[in-house]
Amino acid sequence: MSKIAFIFPGQGAQYCGMGQDFYEQTAIGKEIYDMASGLLGFSLPELCFEKNDRLDITEYTQAAMVTTGIAMMRVLEEKTGIRPDVTAGLSLGEYCALAAAGVMSDPDAILTVRQRGILMQEAVPAGLGAMSAVLSLDAAEIEEVLSRIEGVQIANYNCPGQIVISGKKEAVEEAGEKLLAAGAKRVIGLNVSGPFHSAMLTGAGEKLGIVLENIEIHKPVIPYVANVTAAYVTEADEVKPLLIRQVSSSVRFQQSVETMIKDGVDTFIEIGPGKTLAGFIKKITRDAKVFNIEKLEDLDKLAGI
């Protein structure tokens, strides 16, 4: 049976102007941005649509991205009537997936990532951690090299030929040299504010657990695929422990897509700025239909699916 997945990008896809047409031309889009502004005490339209220095700072990026993803999703649902059978997100995008699955309310998802962003921003002093993308080397070979270097791990299994590593700056640099020697085509340092999805963020995850104590979690209305396990989550009591671990654990995006494909998902709709996830999926499978929705006019692509 044909199934549809909604998928949501993570931090790094943001850009000035993302979601502006959804805000200016739809009632529900405006409602969600304005709701987020009221909750957080600063203007989300100003943050997302006007040139500023805050959009790329983690503590603001996360709230901006999740507000934008949720606004786009709610407009898509209202205007097309399309509902997902399953949902997933890349790292931060998992919070949009939680909203899509009915696990968190839209306001709670936005409030939680505001705190998550602050905790991640403050977790590691600038310059101590690093992240790099490793191109064209098999995951098993990368795991083998990293097993001999303390302080570095795989942060993201994005797709075949693209894996991200994270950890202590010196360890990431050492790993980069050894991965090139092992046959990686390129190792590219990423311009990020911290060593995300590494053990250096364990403390931030534990503090997030305290934030989550005050957030109501519901049984998923549809399954979502957790980054940490690449498995379906169908019960409410599974959610918080996974979100705590997610901050310092590998994001298994490729494996998550493979899980959905095995379950019959043949249509992926990426909701949010950019086309990053659509690109990953095309490298994971050639058999699925993939759409990306980042402009209001993109909804026309979904006619008839």
- Residue 1 has a pLDDT of 65
Whether the pLDDT of residue 128 is over 90: the answer is yes
Q: Is 197 a catalytic residue?
A: yes
d(CA 272, CA 76): 11
211 in helix, strand or coil?
A: helix
| Number of neighbours of residue 129 by Cβ within 10 angstroms | 24
242 in helix, strand or coil?
A: helix
Q: Is 248 a catalytic residue?
A: no
Give the fold, CATH level 3, of 129-189.
Alpha-Beta Plaits (3.30.70)
Give the amino acid at 52: N
Binning the chain into helix, strand and coil, the percentages to the nearest 5 are 50, 15, 35
Domain with CATH 3.30.70.250 in the chain: 129-189
52, 70, 74: which is closest to 62 by C-alpha? Answer: 70
Superfamily of the domain at 3-124+199-302: Malonyl-Coenzyme A Acyl Carrier Protein, domain 2 (3.40.366.10)
d(CA 140, CA 40): 42
184, 304, 255, 272: which is closest to 8 by C-alpha? Answer: 272
Domain with CATH 3.40.366.10 in the chain: 3-124+199-302
The pTM of this model reads: 0.96
| Number of neighbours of residue 27 by Cβ within 10 angstroms | 8
- Residue 21 has a pLDDT of 98
**pLDDT single digits (tens) 253-273:** 999 999 999 999 999 999 999
**pLDDT single digits (tens) 83-127:** 999 999 999 999 999 999 999 999 999 999 999 999 999 999 988
Q: DSSP secondary-structure letter at 272?
A: S
Catalytic residue among 193, 197, 198, 250: 197
